[in-house]
Structures are given as structure tokens and as C-alpha cells.
Structure 1
Amino acid sequence: MLTVDFARLPVGPGDRVLDLGAGGGRHAFEVLRRGADVVAFDLDPAEMESVAAMFAAMDKEGEVPYGATGETVVGTALDMPFPDGSFDRVIASEVLEHIPEDMAAMKEIVRVLKPGGLLAVTVPAFLPERVCWALSEAYHTAPGGHIRIYTLAELSAKLKSSGLEIGDHHHAHGLHTPYWWIKCAVGVDNNDHPIAKAYHELLVWDIMKRPAVTRIAEQILNPVIGKSVVLYARKPA
């Protein structure tokens, strides 16, 4: 399930891409399939072990275009072990809302991005996230959880003050928002609740089958209750 629109963040052979806060690697895998060199970077060593194993499996199955490379690096977004201007593209998906010093992380992103390079940032959208916080304290107080709710204006202003030119934006995963509202209402750890379980099965079916009816529904829901907002920016040349 991708949040970033790669039509707006084009990647391909010859590009070096950083997936910051890569987690399970969903965006890193797509970047590699498109023939770019990708570095999956995360604070969690176990996640990076899993991503490295998937990179190897993709290569074995012939899913990696000739010359493309995928590597993993463990570290903190506040002090990344890369020289200035190392990457043509940076993806920071669902990570900034976890970082207390978010402006410091943004400045690190700008530092490692090449002049003229592109950035895609995704964070939980304001309205869906605000409802989740109101429904469940456990949703946002768990260790490593979300510590802030961004408005689009705040996110844009912080990225701009970090030295980036702000581009367009869109919302994603409108179908997922009701699931999280249900989870927050019945208990975020209550995976066996019948309503939550049924909705989860619907989401899995949608991800696997991509039927027209849910694709149309999500297009309608995204501008209203899209779970994530995606903002694109550019480092001045």
C-alpha cells in the first residue's frame, strides 16, 4: 500500500533515493522495482533486517532491474550518516509526527538532498487524526507513537523555513480512516472486535483485488477524510 504518488515523485535508473523512516519498506521496494538505487533508513534494526531480506528475495526473483541497488542503514533522522547532497529524492512517510525535534529532522533532510532534488513527506491528516486522539488516549500515548497533529499549513511552513520550495499536495487512504476510528472506539489493541475485524478484512480484500468500486469510493473520500496528507517539495538548485 503506497502513500506517495510516484507520478509526482518520479524515480528511475540513475536516481539515488532515501526512504527515511522506512519501516517495513513499502516505498523502498517500489523505488527499487522502478530501477533506482534506494537506501532504506530507520531507527529499528529488526525492521531493517526484514527489509534487507526482502531486497535479496526481490533480486533472486528477478524483480530488480539491472544495476539498481537496495541497502539498509540503521540510524536517527536527527544525525544521518550521509554526506551533504547524497540523494536525488527523499521520501519521509509517516515519520515526522513521531519525532519531537521535527525541525531538526527537516534540516537533515535538506542537507542530504541534492540541489534541485525532490522530497515527498506524508503525515496523518489533521481531521482524521484529531478524531483518533479524541476517541482514544492509548492511540497517541503509546511509546513511539504520534506526538503531534500537523495542519497542512504548519507542515508547509516548517518545510519552507527549512529551505524547501513547496509544491502540490493530496490526500490518501480515505478508506482506512473509518477503520482507525473504529479501532480507537473499541480499543486500539482489540483486534478481535467483530466490527474492527470485518473492516480489516475489507481493507485486505481491497489491497489485494483493487476493485473499481473501492477505488472510486477512495477517490471520493480522500479529499474529505484521507488518513494521510502527502506534500511534495523541492530543494532549490
Structure 2
Amino acid sequence: MLTVDYDRLGVGPDTRVIDVGCGAGRHSFEAYRRGADVVAFDQNAADLAEVEVMFAAMSEVGEAPAHAKAETVQGDALDLPYGDGEFDVVIASEILEHIPDDDAAIAELARVVKPGGKLAVTVPRWLPERICWALSEEYHANEGGHVRIYRADRLRDKILAHGLDYRGQDFAHALHSPYWWLKCAVGSSNDRHPLVRGYQRVLEWDIVSAPAATRTAERALNPLIGKSVALYFDKPLYFDKPC
């Protein structure tokens, strides 16, 4: 289940990609399948261990091209261990809402994109997220939880302040918004509630089967209730660091 549009980012053979806050690795895996050289970057060692196992399995069965490279790196998004302009594509999907000092994180994301490269940032969309917060304190008020709700235009402006050019936005995962509203309504940790379990099975079936009917429905609903917003940026070829 991808939030980022890889065709829009031009990810392909020999593209150098870093997936910052990779989590379980879904975006890293897709970049690897497309032949990119991938860094799956996160602070969670347990998640990275599982991502590394999956990279090895993909390589063994030929799910990624032989020339592609993939590695996991543990570290802090506020202090990326890379030089300026090292990556063709930088992805930060659903992480900024967890970081108190998001300006510092954005500065690091912008710094490691090479001139002429691309940055994709995704966060929970304002309206679906606002409903979740209204329904459940537990949903966000926990260690490592969401510390803010973004409006897309405010986040766009934060990123533009670091000298990048805005290239547009998409919305994703409309079918997931009602699932999270339901979870928040019955208790966000109550995974055994029959309605929650039933909806989860539907989503899992949809992810695996990708039937045309639900794909069409989600595309139609994404502009209205898409759970996530994805923002896309380019770094100018002649880039001057913001003062």
C-alpha cells in the first residue's frame, strides 16, 4: 500500500533513494523492485531488522534487479549521516507528524536531496485526522504518537522555505479514513471489536486483490476523504542554501 507516486518521482534503475522513517519498509521495497539503490532509514532497530530480512528475500527470489542495492541504516531524522545532495529522491512518508521539531527534520530532508532531485513528503490529511483527534484522545496522545495536524498549504510553505520548488499534491487511502474513524469511535486500541476486525479484513482483501471496483471508488473518494496528502518538490539545479 503505497502513498507516494513512484512514476511521478521517476524512480528507476540506479536512482539513489533514501526512505526516511521507513517503518516496515513499504516504500523502500517498491524502490528496490524498480531497480533503485535504496537506503531504508529509521530509528527503530526492530523495524529495520525486518526490513533487512525482506530485502534479502527479495534479492533471493529475483524480485529486485541484480544491479539494485538496498541497505538499512539506523539513525535520527534530525541529523542524517549524509552529505549535502547525496540522493536523487528523498521520501518521508507519515513521519513529520511524529516529530516535535519538524522544521529541523524538513531542513535535513531538503539538504540531502541533490540539485535536480526530488522530495516527496506525506502526512495525514487535515480533515480525516481532525475527526480522529475529536473521536479519541488515545489515538494521538501517546508516546511516539501524532503531535500535530497539518494543513497541506502550511506544510508546503515550510518546505518551500528551504529553497525547493513545489510540483503538486495527491491524496491517497480514502478507504482507510472510515476504518480509522471507526477505530477511534470504539477505542483506538480495541482491535478485537467485530466492526473493526470486519473492516480490517476488507482492507486486507482490497490490498491483496486490488479489484477494479474498489480501486475506482478510492480514486473517486481520494480528493474528498483521502487519509493522506502527498506533496512533491524539486530541488533547483542551481540551488543556493536559504539564509
Task: Give TM-score, length-normalised by structure 2.
Answer: 0.96
How far does residue 92 in structure 1 lie from its aligned partner after superposition? 0.4
- 2:241 is matched with which residue? none
Q: How do 1:53-202 and structure 2 match up within 5 A?
A: 53-202=53-202
Secondary structure of the 1:141 match is coil
Q: Deviations over 1:140-184 (max 9, x none)?
A: 111001101000111110000122111110100000000000000
How far does residue 66 in structure 1 lie from its aligned partner after superposition? 2.2
Letter in 1 for 2:157: A
Secondary structure of the 2:139 match is helix
CA distance in 1, matches of 2:147, 2:210: 33
CA distance in 2, matches of 1:209, 1:113: 35
Letter in 1 for 2:39: V
Q: Is the Cα contact below 8 Å between 1:173 and 1:226 reproduced in 2?
A: yes
After superposition, the CA RMSD in angstroms is 0.7
CA distance in 1, matches of 2:34, 2:66: 10
Secondary structure of the 1:167 match is strand
Secondary structure of the 2:223 match is helix
Q: Is the Cα contact below 8 Å between 1:22 and 1:41 reproduced in 2?
A: yes
Letter in 2 for 1:46: A
- 1:47 is matched with which residue? 47
CA distance in 2, matches of 1:33, 1:78: 28
CA distance in 2, matches of 1:186, 1:149: 21
CA distance in 1, matches of 2:211, 2:63: 25
- 1:206 is matched with which residue? 206
Alignment partner of 1:6 is 2:1: no
Task: Give TM-score, length-normalised by structure 1.
Answer: 0.99
Secondary structure of the 1:91 match is strand
CA distance in 1, matches of 2:146, 2:162: 22
Gaps of 5+ in 1: none
CA distance in 2, matches of 1:91, 1:178: 26
Letter in 1 for 2:65: P
- How many equivalent pairs are there? 237
